[in-house]
Amino acid sequence: MAMSCFPPPKSIPLFPAPAACRLPVPAPRCLAPLRLPPAPSRPPARGRRPRGSCQQIRARSRGNEYQPNNRKRKRTHGWIKRISTPGGVAVILRRMLKGRKSLTH
């Protein structure tokens, strides 16, 4: 039988060495404390603030999307529009099967 050129595997210790015998391992850089930029040296000025700095910033008003228009409603959701397209016919059939009293506008 030929001898192998690889060294024999090292044995795994059953009991780890005590903490006092272990060498300290440096922490990875990703776990190092974060370095924050230095705080501003002068405090914010007291006194008069710019106008409107404490007021609420207004956003676009909501709830006014529906502006009733019967002509557009009938042209978009009416019987003629529904019956003229295959998808509209499917809508009418679904509503018939469900038992809706009103099939279209």
pTM score of the predicted model? 0.41
Rounded Cα distance between 76 and 78, Å, is 6
- Tell me, letter by letter, the H, E, C secondary structure of the chain: CCCCCCCCCCCCCCCCCCCCCCCCCCCCHHHCCCCCCCCCCCCCCCCCCCCCCCCCCCCCCCCCCCCCCHHHHHHHHCHHHHHCCHHHHHHHHHHHHHCCCCCCC
Question: Is 34 inside a domain boundary?
Answer: no
Question: Which pLDDT belongs to residue 60?
Answer: 79
Q: What is the pLDDT of residue 59?
A: 78
Residue 27 is assigned to a structural domain of this protein: no
Residue 31 belongs to a domain? no
Domain count, the chain: 1
Q: What is the pLDDT of residue 58?
A: 78
Q: Which of 104, 85, 86 minimizes the C-alpha distance to 95?
A: 104
Q: What digits encode the pLDDT tens for the residues 12-65?
A: 666 666 665 666 666 666 655 667 677 767 666 666 666 666 677 777 788 888
Under 8 Å between Cβ of 79 and 104: yes
Quote the domain boundaries for residue 92: 73-105
pLDDT at residue 103 tops 60:
yes
**Is 92 a domain residue?**
yes
Any domain includes 13: no
The answer as to whether 81 is a domain residue is: yes
Task: Read off the DSSP letter of residue 60.
Answer: -
Report the CATH number at residue 96: 1.10.287.3980
Q: pLDDT-based confidence at 1, cuts 50/70/90?
A: low
